[in-house]
Chain A
């Protein structure tokens, strides 16, 4: 929730007095606020630079390092201040976030350093303000691409071969890294030479040569020395075909290889020759065949295996493909408009070359490309990314953020309700870990529920409950769950219907959290972690630290880990261990999987 909202909470709670005459039931007791009302100034020393701020300022964001009790680990008793051995320049921005509620990304800083600082202080990058979000995203993407390229380059480098590689693997390595062996290098240069020869031959074919004796007209060389050119072409195609077949054989994943760009280029380069062989000497068809020969020029693209620069050009084009595509589209639109105008303008005139709209396309294209495009390009460049980002990316980012924030608060409150419903013992520890702000906020929502005599649920539960109400209560599900919950679940009290609803809610909640976790990306997972179902704790006799982890905010790694672990089919505690860095989190994972598993069995 936004910073300043915390300021308004007492006001919203006070305004709840307005609901009292309408409430049919008594309001719940407000949470006890033990903190003193007076504010104090905290001293934070970051590598020698002393910052001072109100305690309330830091308390605004209770799920960050500075807002939670985690900062006590850094408290220095002697100097009565919090000492952090981090970059003071970056800390300035972090502290400003607490003060103003907006996180800004300093443009002169390295993106990785900034990310690391954010991770240290427990701040999610998603809350970067709109003003700096694009810059941040662009630089992050840039950095990631660079890293990906680097790792790729490193992997592809001259690492020694694993000892027992098959000849196929060795062949593939020879193809990918010609510098590894002399044979490969030779082959590399030979193919390069033949590509060049083939391209030059294509070009020279069309040059007019002196006519043979007895003829007046100039002939293109291709027709004069037809046999010679044919032999050269055959040789080239043979080499290329051999190379392609070798690569195909050596490729570790044939399907992937066949789909790759380079292999498509290879195929396109040699296809015309084979098609020409099978084609009959028919007059009509050979016209089409001649067009096919144009594709032979694609052989020049085979050079990109030999040249790093060409490959980089290809990647560049790929990365701005969408923008280029849009540019082309708008260009086409402009061409059509102007061509139509020219055609109709010149329609009546005799001897006009604009005989049809397509005919005027050519004129328009030439004019636009020679005069207009340069200007258009410079103008577009200036405004393009601004407008594009403004309209699409910013909007998407803002919408995503609003959705996440909403889901976050919704889930937090629903979990609070679940905790409330259960035994006070198990929830006591969890309750302490929530901030005062959250307590008060939940109390407010609870008051609203009492006023209207309806309760909040989320979408999944709502549809679940609609179904259960219409179909009838399935006792089997609730009893199996409640038996597994053990004796702790006697807070159901007198209302069996309520217990069933809660059971149904928990079911839905658990499936929701696991399935949603698997669908969403890493960023949003951080917010979603609070929806990991709490009933897992009771079923595992969990200890205090587990409780803390479950309620904690920083267990996003748990959510990540819980996705790939498939739920085991045995409902006991010996699930296959997943690679977890902290044992506490591992237990958390088991818990999630266990719950998911419970759901499966009891729904049979």
Chain B
């Protein structure tokens, strides 16, 4: 009898946390998240006050609650790539921006990320890219992680491409990448190897230069 009551109470206890979680989620979405002051953000990023204002106005318009969660992010990113499926890559991108790892991007995360990408030094950009590829944040990029990323990118192309995607094109791409990046052929790419290999890559440096003026 006591055992029955015990199991019953245990079940209700298990159920309650989930209900609490949904309540918490509701609270989180109700609560508005405000960024730090304009001055602080200006100090922390490489944007001017005007630029921050414009960025925030757009951000706030899209996310009145002040945070972007992963679903919304995926949805937004998918709109830029109507041909294919951008959800996996958006997921990795989201994690790269969500530096605090709490499942949502606030304006501060958004603007810091943008600051690195658009106005950061070469080293900062390469570090950012390394963190994007390093899915499990262990400081190394191994073949599986790279394959995931490359597959996600190819998914964005969609089905109808020229030339048609035959064979294991992503895998070949990963092999080529490792060929280039993995200097000591130990199967993983460290940050240093990555930075050095990128700096040696002429094509990439030229492309980086072009991206200076994106904003």
The interface residues of chain B, by DSSP majority, are classed as helix
Contact mask A41-62 → B, CB, 8 Å, 1/0? Answer: 0000000000000101000000
Docked-complex contact A17 and B153, CB < 8 angstroms = no
- A429 CB contacts on chain B under 8 angstroms: none
Docked-complex contact B110 and A11, CB < 8 angstroms = yes
Which residues of chain B from 96 to 126 have any CB-CB distance to chain A below 8 Å in the complex? 96, 110, 113-114, 117-118, 125
**From residue B91, how far is it (CB to closest CB) to chain A in Å?**
13
> Is B12 among interface residues, defined by CB-CB distance under 8 A?
no
Docked-complex contact B207 and A20, CB < 8 angstroms = yes
Stretch at the interface among A247-255, A403-411, A420-428, A552-560: A403-411
**From residue A378, how far is it (CB to closest CB) to chain B in Å?**
35
> Is A465 among interface residues, defined by CB-CB distance under 8 A?
yes
> Is A118 among interface residues, defined by CB-CB distance under 8 A?
no
**From residue A60, how far is it (CB to closest CB) to chain B in Å?**
10
- A452 CB contacts on chain B under 8 angstroms: 153-154, 157, 161, 169, 173
In the complex formed, the residue of A with least CB distance to B154 is: A452
Docked-complex contact B158 and A456, CB < 8 angstroms = yes
Most chain A CB atoms below 10 A, which of B154, B161, B165: B161
Taken together as a complex, chains A and B put the C-alpha atoms of A526 and B97 apart, in Å, by 38
> Is A208 among interface residues, defined by CB-CB distance under 8 A?
no
Contact mask B199-215 → A, CB, 8 Å, 1/0? Answer: 00101101110110111
In the complex formed, the residue of A with least CB distance to B164 is: A466
- Chain A: how many interface residues by the 8 Å CB criterion? 60
- A7 CB contacts on chain B under 8 angstroms: 58-59, 61-62
Most chain B CB atoms below 10 A, which of A26, A56, A99, A461: A26
- A11 CB contacts on chain B under 8 angstroms: 110, 113-114
- A13 CB contacts on chain B under 8 angstroms: 214
Whether A21 touches B204, Cβ cut-off 8 Å, given contacts A10-B114, A39-B54, is yes
- A26 CB contacts on chain B under 8 angstroms: 203, 206-207, 210
Docked-complex contact B153 and A456, CB < 8 angstroms = no
Docked-complex contact B203 and A455, CB < 8 angstroms = no
Docked-complex contact B51 and A37, CB < 8 angstroms = yes
Q: In the complex, which range does the number of interface residues on chain B fall in?
A: 35 or more
In the complex formed, the residue of B with least CB distance to A456 is: B83
Docked-complex contact A461 and B83, CB < 8 angstroms = no
> Is B176 among interface residues, defined by CB-CB distance under 8 A?
yes
**From residue B86, how far is it (CB to closest CB) to chain A in Å?**
10
Other-chain residue from B54, B114, B177 in contact with A21 (beta carbon distance below 8 A)? B177
> Is A542 among interface residues, defined by CB-CB distance under 8 A?
no
Docked-complex contact A409 and B153, CB < 8 angstroms = no
Other-chain residue from A14, A18, A455 in contact with B162 (beta carbon distance below 8 A)? A455
Which residues of chain B from 136 to 157 have any CB-CB distance to chain A below 8 Å in the complex? 149-150, 153-154, 156-157
- B156 CB contacts on chain A under 8 angstroms: 448
In the complex formed, the residue of A with least CB distance to B79 is: A5
Taken together as a complex, chains A and B put the C-alpha atoms of A449 and B157 apart, in Å, by 8
Docked-complex contact A445 and B81, CB < 8 angstroms = yes
- B206 CB contacts on chain A under 8 angstroms: 26
Sorted nearest first, the 4 A-B pairs with minimum C-beta distance are A7-B58, A14-B117, A4-B62, A462-B160
Residue contacts A-B, CB under 8 angstroms, 19 given: A2-B79, A5-B79, A9-B80, A10-B114, A18-B132, A20-B207, A21-B194, A21-B204, A22-B173, A26-B210, A56-B57, A409-B82, A441-B80, A451-B153, A452-B153, A454-B161, A455-B162, A456-B158, A459-B160
Apart from the given pairs A1-B79, A20-B129, 4 other A-B contacts in the complex at a CB distance below 8 Å: A12-B77, A20-B208, A24-B176, A26-B203
- Residues on A lying within 8 angstroms of B by beta carbon are 1-30, 33, 37-39, 54, 56, 99-100, 405-406, 409-410, 441, 444-445, 448-449, 451-452, 454-459, 461-462, 465-466, 501
